[in-house]
Amino acid sequence: MKTNVLKKGALLLMGACLVFTSCSKDESDATEESVSAEITAENTRQSSEAEVATDGLFNLMDIAYAEQEEEAGRNASYFTDCVTITVSIQGGVKFVTLDFGLGCELRNGSIASGIVYLTYNPSQVGTLTIDYDLENFAYNNKFIAGGGSLFRERNNANGNPQHTVNHELEVTFPNGLVVDFDGTRVSEWIEGVGTGTWTDNVFSVTGTRDIEFNTGFSSYAIVIDPLRREATCEHFVSGSVEITRNNGTGVLDFGDGTCDNIATLTVNGETFTIILD
């Protein structure tokens, strides 16, 4: 009789353990799914902020060239008085230095620091290549390292200025996170061309990029709906990007045209709100 009681007790205990283990596993799986979603949203936020910073850099270079060569800023320059712009010519080659010092606020509210060097020959049949290099350059407190060439067309198929750049850039956040971008970016200047002021400038951005974090996280991104960048806004105001990670995909949407720092990420039918810095 005593033996039967012990056996029954042992069976009950084993059953309880199995139930507890099963519940714990379910709770663990749910937690992992939740954490996975949060990590996806967080990594997307970080890569998006880095992307916005590099886009700000390229727009800055494009506008600087246009103001120097096409009188784009004859009525109102994009650059404030805290930017020191130096221009020199040697053997027909023009050297433009944009020195933002330890921190200089641009007209759209963004903060730039460090130095951007631009070098280019005279335009040939409406096209030219601008070589760029960076020295301790930061855009909205994110340091950008690298250099390369930007191919600029005065008139693309739509009759608009456009630049194409194959870039390898490294973006470092204040917390030490490093994001490497390797890709192609095409920016078409779709509004505000030739008006002589920066306030109505609008750009349409497309392209692809491989993104790698120093944490080991990596992804691939392609613009599926052109990103709209208005010079008066620090962020993209519309457009979407498809992001691929480990055979999974998500879509990052920058909104309906409103100037704000809000984007949404949709993964497996679930949508997350992302607040950009």
Residue 23 domain-assigned? Answer: no
Q: For residue 108, what pLDDT band results from cuts at 50, 70 and 90?
A: confident
Share of the chain above pLDDT 70, in %: 84
> Measuring CA to CA, how many Å separate 106 from each of 21, 51, 83, 116?
58, 18, 9, 14
Residue 29 domain-assigned? Answer: no
Residue 159 domain-assigned? Answer: yes
Residue 213 domain-assigned? Answer: yes
Q: How many domains does the chain have?
A: 1
Q: For residue 275, what pLDDT band results from cuts at 50, 70 and 90?
A: very high
- Which of 21-25, 31-35, 149-153, 223-227 is predicted with the least confidence, judged by mean pLDDT? 31-35
Rounded mean pLDDT of 139-151? 93
What is the rounded radius of gyration, in angstroms, for the C-alpha atoms of the chain? 25
Residue 239 has pLDDT above 90, yes or no: yes
pLDDT of residue 40: 64
Residue 52 domain-assigned? Answer: yes
Q: How many CB atoms lie within 10 A of CB 116?
A: 22
Structure confidence by residue, pLDDT tens digits, 59-97 = 899 889 988 888 766 788 889 999 999 999 999 999 999
Tell me the sheet residues that pair with 265.
Answer: 252, 272
Closest CA to 247 of 224, 220, 273, 269: 220
Residue 253 domain-assigned? Answer: yes
C-alpha angle 76/79/85, rounded to 5°?
120
> Measuring CA to CA, how many Å separate 236 from each of 16, 48, 218, 270?
55, 10, 22, 22
Residue 261 domain-assigned? Answer: yes
Rounded mean pLDDT of 263-269? 90
> HSE (CB half, 13 Å, CA atoms) of 253?
12
Structure confidence by residue, pLDDT tens digits, 166-187 = 888 999 999 999 999 999 999 9
What would the DSSP string read from start to end of 137-197? Answer: EEETTEEEEEEEEEEEESS-TTSS-EEEEEEEEEEE-TTS-EEEEEEEEEEEEEE-TTSSB
pLDDT of residue 72: 67
Residue 136 domain-assigned? Answer: yes
Q: Which domain holds residue 157?
A: 37-275
pLDDT of residue 118: 96
